[in-house]
Amino acid sequence: MLPITALRTTFPTVRQTHPQQPVDTAAVASAQTAADGFDALPQAPLRRGQNGAAVKKLQHALIDLKLMTRDGYQTGPGIFGPRTEAALEVFQRRHGLPVNGVFTEATRRAMAKALQRSSDAGGPTKPKRDYDADKGTPMYDQDSAPWGDNPLGNKKLTIAQAGCALTATAMAISRISGRRINPGQLDRWCDNHGGYIGNNLDWADAARARGLTASRPKFSLERIDKNLLQNRPVVIGVSYAGGKNNGGANGTDHWLTVTARRTDERGRRYYVAHDPGTGRQIRLYPGKTAFGWGLKNDLYKTTAQLRTFHKP
């Protein structure tokens, strides 16, 4: 359960060299029947390098269509940069348009229809399914004072050395119960209530520190989604040591708190996790690596260990 370097996600810069596209005025006139969709969009054309209120309006539409995250938007509101261009390319590819990253009139018409369909289905700003339990989930670093030097169960190792499960659990049960408990406080609870088996955490006893119960269901993304949909972060076991069986079940040598499911600027699904080894957020990308879960650059792999928490 050693500290790990957090995943850093970067996106390549794509330079735009395509010429300005002519406006199809006849098509614009016929498309005015989708007035609500057009109202949410700026006039075309727009391209990389431009900025201002029109670009900001386009970015909000991309957010509504789940092609750009709000985090991505905050890196350059009103600036037509690589993230906006990449989101437009995803939209164009999905709708059979020329993939050039330019907000053309043809792209505007297709986007207006997509926004209208989204509005008819309940509106982009009111999604039916929200897999985001990140808000209200604290970020704890197992190394931090004042708890990092606290000894765990059998007093041979400290929270900083082997307290990732304890720290990940503290983050999850704080969010679910609505009452924060930091790793030091949870450690004291476990000391006084039989929450350790040697240095290993007794998950059920630890959950009771905030009136919750703990379960060990079969690992699946669907089960994780179900908990996130109900605003319940989950804790997963991972291996970062290249498959070495130097930890717990299936080589588990670290634990993470999964807090949200989102879509990145390229339309790819990923999960947000709080890493107690670094005190930072990372992105988990589903893939074809071990147990159906992978990460960009393979910094972490799941070991099919899942812990969930809920009210009894």
Q: What are the boundaries of each domain within the chain?
A: 25-120, 159-310
Strand partners of residue 260:
132, 272
From first to last of the 312 residues of the chain, give the pLDDT tens digit.
433 333 333 323 333 333 344 444 333 333 333 445 677 799 999 999 999 999 999 999 999 898 988 877 888 899 999 999 999 999 999 999 999 999 999 999 999 888 887 655 554 444 446 788 998 999 999 999 999 999 998 788 999 999 999 999 999 999 999 999 999 999 999 999 999 998 889 999 999 999 999 999 999 889 999 999 999 999 999 887 554 445 667 778 899 999 999 887 777 788 899 999 989 988 887 765 443 344 444 567 788 899 999 999
CATH class held by domain 25-120: mainly alpha
pTM of the predicted model, to two decimals? 0.59
Distance CA 75, CA 135 (A): 19
Distance CA 185, CA 163 (A): 13
Query: Please, what is the angle between helix 105-120 and helix 82-94, to 10°?
Result: 70
pLDDT in the model for residue 296? 44
| Architecture in CATH of 159-310 | Alpha-Beta Complex (3.90)
